[in-house]
Structure 1
Amino acid sequence: MFDNIMKDVESEKKKLILNRDLVQEKLEATPKTEKVNNAVFEWLKESEKLVEEEENLKAITELEILDFDCSLAWIQWLLCADHKMRHRRYREMLDRLKALNSKCEFDPFSTTIPPLDYFSSGYFVPFESIKEASDRLLAALQESNCSTIGLYGKRGSGKTKLVKIVGEKAKYLNIFNEVAFATVSQNPNVRRIQDEIADSLNLKFTRNTLAGRARTISLELKSKDRVLVILDDVQARIELEDIIGIPGDRTKGCKVLLTTRRQRECALMDCKEEFSLGPLSDDETWTLLKNHSGIGDGSSPDILNVAHQVALECEGLPGTIKEVGSSLKSKHVKEWKASLDNLRHSMARWQIFISFRGEDTRFSFTGFLYEALLREGFKIFMDDGGGLDTGDQISPSLINAIEASRLSIVVLSENYASSSWCLDELAKILECKENKNQIVWPIFYKVDPSHIRHMRNGYGNAMTEHENIFGNEPERLQKWRSALFEVAGMFGKPYETNNGYEYKFIQKIVEHANNIKSRLYIRSMDMD
């Protein structure tokens, strides 16, 4: 009789193992767009546990018999003496195995995961760039060896909204059981951050010191299974141990997700993974602006034309797009134009960009001009010489600096055109003058504008040399010629040696810059 029960248990266990493997295969084949029923994970966990219990029971039974060095009659007596207990233990095991095997079918096995906007408490459009960042964050949060994760992006890029949504989705997917959220910001207040975390976890402090409160949070996190702590807007290194009582690299059972404005803060916080939240595409920006401003195909051509320029100036930042769009709802085209002008001023990072030929004027005229403007408090971008004369293409950092400036001062010296970088800068500067209404001041430093316009002397020689090197890039060469012709015809500031002292000439430039300082106003922006 007992032998029959043991055989039945063994048979039922093999059946459970087969069912477990089939469920596991189905689980692994489930698309990432679907959420597996919680009962599936519970069943798999219980199956593993029960198979292990059965194997332990079998091992104990065999060990009890083998441990006795005695006659067969004595073993038979032991089996008889413990017969009822053994029979009961195996009968219970058999019943549990049968019950679990009968529950291996799940209806439904999985359900479609709702879109991102399902997890948002307010208006939210899950654009492609946002969905991509969400998927990458969720994948990192599921990595067992990734304790601290960073998401960085410009102010207004939507980082805070995204991490809150990701936190809610992570709870829905059972990656975490609880999510705690706290805002850090500049000059972090540890007590306030601890209070926000405690509120998220429904935790009450019994200790008043910062260390005691950190200890309380630490014990709570360790007692809970799978907790996500989101620290929003980290602007400098903070010690996690001071806040939650657990070092960032030993947050077992707990993960920390940070948002920062710059990548360097992610590095300072020793993030194991870090991701960038980039700007919206032009089409996405236009869609979001239309949604918040109420404009459409039926709007006047004048408004649509200005609106496209407004969208461009918003730099793909959802926060800026929503704010601007809402403020212009049902407004006249004049207010759209005023808003466009304000954006062009406020979205700039630099008041002045200086374009010059380093070999000619870095340590003389341009260097003195830079120092004079700097003393007046202007925010200036001047290349530090790290690569202007190397390579064939202008660097992305210089392109960004030109686009993010209000005024460009172009120091056209004798050898300015001999640098392909300088010519690329000039072409970009004039493009921003046309598209972004930027101000351009040419300074004809010891050169005649007519020599530039007609490609004579050093400028003519430089363009001949460029034609030999870049002959297979006719469009680029033509862009350079057009840029030189255009800048030579602009009203500029000529300087010749017989004009007097350079410092007096520089003073006049500074005075002129001070006279238009209101047009060079910029809003404080985060630097990448």
Structure 2
Amino acid sequence: MYYLGIGLATYKIIIAVVCVISIILIKTIHKVRAYRVCKVIKDVEREKKKLISNRDFLQQKIDATDHKTQKVSDIVFGWLKEVDKLVQEVENVTLIAEPESIRYNIEMLNKIKALNIKCEFEPFSNPIPSLEHFSSGNFVCFEPIKETSDRLLEALQNRNFYKIGLYGKRGSGKTKLVKAVAEKARYLGVFDAVLFFTVSQNPNVKQIQDEIADLLNLKFDKNTEVGRSREIYLTLERMDRPVLVILDDVWENLDLEELGIPCNNNRCKVLLTTHSKQEFALMNCQEVIPLGPLSIEESWTLFKKHSGIDNESSTDLLNVAREVAIECQGLPRTIKDVGSSLRSKPIEEWKASLESLRYAMTQYDIFISFRGKDTRDSFTGFLYDALCRERFKTFMDDEGLKGGDGISSSLIKAIEASKISIVVFSKKFAHSAWCLDELVTILKCKKTKNQQILPIFYKVEPSDVRHQKNSYERGMAKQVKRFGDDFDKLKKWRSALFEVASLSGITYNTGYEYKLVHTIVERVNNQI
């Protein structure tokens, strides 16, 4: 019993000592773990601040990059995306100083450290290839083309623009340019896909929808225009990255929603091309960009390339060749076609081609005289479009041809070269000295060249024009005040108004303007 009693007492003491030691060990372990957790949390905060600093520095570096010549590496943007996601995750979760959370805290710390280690990028950016690199075939990026391509690219990258228009004369190179710019934009990661359609060759909705479906590998479940439109719309909306839709050679106002093209968000952008700015009047483009002609020297450089002319050619041939290049009016396609057709030909053919070009480039079917502020972006713009679609070579004067106090020689030549002049008498026509000067020249051409004149009385009475009453009286009063001493000029203007307004014309006051346009086109068809 004694032995057993001593044994029990000792056992109890041992148990007590073990318990005390265990409690001390557990407390020590908890303290060590708590210390470690706190240290990890501090390390996470320190590394997070370092990561945010690295991110901000990198963003400044990106902002300072010349994005016209340098493309920032996709890896850089991928890193920034990872950083933003991780920083957001850290800020959304409260790091708990509890032993159980240490594994999560360490995992978060390791992620942040890994991103900090990866923040040095070589190369940070790469040179962007020139526009020629993105174009198929012979493509020379002259100054007007470069300026327009830069504007196009900026517009395509602008999040506020979802519908963009490009206009320029036929042969100016619009189609090649938009294709090259689109490929460059795709290279820069602006778009995931580019869909290209030539609208003039596919004038009906079903045909365009079929082409869109082919490019999207889409099989229609419904065969109605509305059903097809809805399927295309939803397919484009679901695409991971923005899509660019190019509608080339647009001749009339297109209902994009009818085609199934989203046109009010940045998931899908639309780029339209046409030969005339007036085409965009009803299409609500956020940006409209012109493509101008080449300069004389640029035209000559391109012409030599395609014609085979060089400094070793005879002086006579060089002189004729330069004149031929000038007559191509800075249009790259015309320059290429004419130059290629004359390569290695005798000088006689060059001279014949020069005469043919001079005739073709200076002869117009129709000259439209109008006051720009009154009807340029409405009736006259639509009339011009309709005449061009009927393949009439139509001259619609540009504000750039005006300057000084007298009618420009360019306008005089255009009037003299036309077969018929359409004069749009609007309410404030007589307020413009330019319009009155044009009218005098038009009347002179009628008498000397047997040119035809078709007056359009747009919301005015012919008698008001003839006898200068109402708005025409006020307009002439303005001219008297300005040119009161030039009695001869005022007399010519009044006489021209009277004579032209006495000719058989078309009067319009109310009703559908498209019917008026149709009537004018029919009348012109019968007269030319």
TM-score range relative to shorter protein:
0.5 to 0.7
Taking structure 1 as the reference length, the TM-score comes to: 0.65
Aligned-residue sequence identity (percent) comes to 59
Q: Is the counterpart of residue 303 in structure 1 residue 317 in structure 2? A: yes
Q: Is the 8 A contact 1:37 1:111 kept in 2?
A: yes
Q: Find the aligned partners of 2:128 and 2:59 in 1 and give their Cα distance.
A: 20
Aligned to 2:469: none
Q: Find the aligned partners of 2:252 and 2:329 in 1 and give their Cα distance.
A: 25
Where in structure 2 are the equivalents of 1:394-433 lying within 5 Å? 394-395=407-408, 398-399=411-412, 401-402=414-415, 405=418
Q: Find the aligned partners of 2:155 and 2:408 in 1 and give their Cα distance.
A: 32
Q: Is the 8 A contact 1:117 1:126 kept in 2?
A: yes
Measured after TM superposition, the shift of residue 352 of structure 1 is 8.3
Q: Is the counterpart of residue 241 in structure 1 residue 257 in structure 2? A: yes
Q: What secondary structure does 2:312 align onto?
A: coil
Distance 1:214 1:99, change over 3 A: same
Structure 1 residue identity aligned to 2:292: G
Moved more, 304-313 or 207-216: 207-216
Aligned to 2:266: 252
Measured after TM superposition, the shift of residue 312 of structure 1 is 1.4
Moved more, 12-21 or 190-199: 190-199
Task: State which structure, 1 or 2, has the greater radius of gyration over its C-alpha atoms.
Answer: 2
1:23 maps to which of 55, 58, 69: 58
Measured after TM superposition, the shift of residue 194 of structure 1 is 2.1
Q: Is the 8 A contact 2:202 2:208 kept in 1?
A: no
Q: Is the 8 A contact 1:117 1:125 kept in 2?
A: yes
Where in structure 2 are the equivalents of 1:379-458 lying within 5 Å? 392-395=405-408, 398-399=411-412, 401-402=414-415, 405=418
Q: Is the counterpart of residue 183 in structure 1 residue 198 in structure 2? A: yes
Measured after TM superposition, the shift of residue 274 of structure 1 is 0.5
Where in structure 2 are the equivalents of 1:129-528 lying within 5 Å? 129-185=144-200, 188-224=203-239, 225-246=241-262, 248=263, 250-350=264-364, 392-395=405-408, 398-399=411-412, 401-402=414-415, 405=418
The C-alpha deviation readout for 1:52-111, integer Å capped at 9, x for no partner, is: 1000112xx57xxxxxxxxxxxxxxxx76xx43x22221221111011111101110011
Q: Find the aligned partners of 1:142 and 1:268 in 2 and give their Cα distance.
A: 23
Taking structure 2 as the reference length, the TM-score comes to: 0.65
Distance 1:380 1:29, change over 3 A: closer
Measured after TM superposition, the shift of residue 291 of structure 1 is 0.7
Q: Is the 8 A contact 1:353 1:381 kept in 2?
A: yes
The C-alpha deviation readout for 1:196-239, integer Å capped at 9, x for no partner, is: 33333344434332222222221221111111111101110010
Q: Is the 8 A contact 1:348 1:406 kept in 2?
A: no
Measured after TM superposition, the shift of residue 354 of structure 1 is 12
Measured after TM superposition, the shift of residue 397 of structure 1 is 6.9
Gaps of 5+ in 2: 1-35, 370-391, 422-432, 451-482, 487-502, 504-528
The C-alpha deviation readout for 1:291-346, integer Å capped at 9, x for no partner, is: 11111111122221221111111111111111111111111111111211221222
Structure 2 residue identity aligned to 1:335: E
Distance 1:400 1:185, change over 3 A: farther
Q: Is the 8 A contact 1:211 1:245 kept in 2?
A: no
Aligned to 1:54: 90
Structure 2 residue identity aligned to 1:253: R
Q: Is the 8 A contact 1:151 1:260 kept in 2?
A: yes
Structure 1 residue identity aligned to 2:93: L
The C-alpha deviation readout for 1:465-517, integer Å capped at 9, x for no partner, is: x9x99xxxxxxxxxxxxxxxxxxxxxxxxxxxxxxxxx9xxxxxxxxxxxxxx
Q: Find the aligned partners of 2:257 and 2:174 in 1 and give their Cα distance.
A: 24
Question: Moved runs in structure 1, 4+ residues, more than 6 A?
Answer: 352-355, 378-383
The structure whose RCO (Cα within 8 Å, separation 6+) is larger is 1
Q: Is the 8 A contact 1:289 1:311 kept in 2?
A: yes
Q: Find the aligned partners of 2:166 and 2:287 in 1 and give their Cα distance.
A: 9
Q: Is the 8 A contact 1:233 1:259 kept in 2?
A: yes
Q: Is the counterpart of residue 102 in structure 1 residue 117 in structure 2? A: yes
Aligned to 2:73: 37
Q: What secondary structure does 1:236 align onto?
A: coil
Structure 1 residue identity aligned to 2:407: I
Measured after TM superposition, the shift of residue 193 of structure 1 is 1.7
Q: Find the aligned partners of 2:108 and 2:340 in 1 and give their Cα distance.
A: 66
Q: Find the aligned partners of 1:156 and 1:404 in 2 and give their Cα distance.
A: 21
Q: Find the aligned partners of 1:329 and 1:401 in 2 and give their Cα distance.
A: 31
Structure 2 residue identity aligned to 1:230: I
Q: Find the aligned partners of 1:173 and 1:134 in 2 and give their Cα distance.
A: 14
Q: Is the 8 A contact 1:152 1:266 kept in 2?
A: no
Where in structure 2 are the equivalents of 1:108-123 lying within 5 Å? 108-123=123-138
Q: What secondary structure does 2:281 align onto?
A: helix
Distance 1:381 1:231, change over 3 A: closer
Q: Find the aligned partners of 2:163 and 2:337 in 1 and give their Cα distance.
A: 32
Distance 1:173 1:352, change over 3 A: closer
Q: Find the aligned partners of 1:382 and 1:21 in 2 and give their Cα distance.
A: 53
Q: Tell me how many residue pairs correspond in the alignment.
A: 378
RMSD (Å) for aligned C-alpha atoms: 3.7
